[in-house]
Structure 1
Amino acid sequence: MTDRLQQLIDFLAETPDDPFLNYALATEYLKLGHVENALRYYERLVEKHPGYVGTYYHLGKLYETLDQKENAIATYEKGMHNARAKRDMHALSELQAAYRAAVEMDEDDE
């Protein structure tokens, strides 16, 4: 276990509902190749903190990596909805681009 990972785990133990710490931990797990842990934290984050819009892009990309295109597309759609609600145009733009690419890939598979 890396020092950074241990630090994040320790911080999260103190404030388990902090969306940024959950996001950072998921991202660190992904960086270390611990895909199942990353997936669990990203999924928990969108469930408990749907307004934390940065998560949707990364969760969608992870679903794509895991060849779960339907989950990726649904995640991008939810993220776009939440980004619009928060008026986060930067996140919305990124999610729209990822969504379009995922839908095109899905159509290519047919």
Structure 2
Amino acid sequence: MPTRRERIEALLVDEPQDQFLRYGLAIEFENESRFEDSAVVFRSLMNDPVPHVPSFLRGAQLFVRMDEIEEARAALRTGIEIARSRGEMHPAGEMAELLMTLGSLGE
């Protein structure tokens, strides 16, 4: 029986740009402790022509876990700006909260 990740990867063969599937893949990589693979997918979602807003928060959380605090801060700042520009105030607020908790961490 294929794993959830394997099922997502199979679907991505036909729809390689599907943001929902790619986001799911990043989460599955993270669940498997494949943090670098997860980070690659989150970064690609953040850099899509239409950036995937949830990836900024989830990616930043991963970057914190990987002790990449500056990358987390940068992702959050960009994600907040994009979310606000789209009127997505709830995700913008969640990202702002995480950014505040980072404070001087890693400096």
- Structure 2 length normalisation: TM-score? 0.92
CA-atom RMSD, angstroms?
1.6
Gaps of 5+ in 1: none
Corresponding residue SS for 1:48: coil
In the alignment, which residue of structure 1 is the partner of 2:39?
A: 39
* SS of match in other structure, 2:33: coil
Q: Which residue of 1 aligns with 2:90?
A: 90
Contact 2:35/2:66 (8 A) holds in 1: no
User: Does 2:72 match 1:51?
Assistant: no
1:9-62 Cα offsets, whole Å, 9 max, x none, are 001111000111110000011011111110111111111155311000111111
Map of 2:63 onto structure 1:
63
1:57 alignment partner, SS class: helix
Matched, 1:12 2:23: no
Structure 2's unaligned 5+ residue stretches are none
- What corresponds to 2:79 in structure 1? 79
Distance 1:50 1:43 in 2: 13
Structure 1 residue 105, shift from structure 2 partner: 3.6
The farther-off stretch of 27-36 and 48-57 is 48-57
Secondary structure of residue in 2 paired with 1:51? coil
Q: Displaced runs of 4+ in structure 1, greater than 2 A?
A: none
Counting aligned pairs with the same residue, the percent is 24
The aligned counterpart of 1:24 is: 24
> Aligned partners of 1:18, 1:45: CA distance in 2, in Å?
10
Does the CA contact (< 8 Å) of 2:45 and 2:51 recur in 1?
Answer: no
Q: Distance in 1 between matches of 2:38 and 2:15?
A: 18
- Give, in whole Å, the separation in 2 of the partners of 1:32 and 1:2: 14
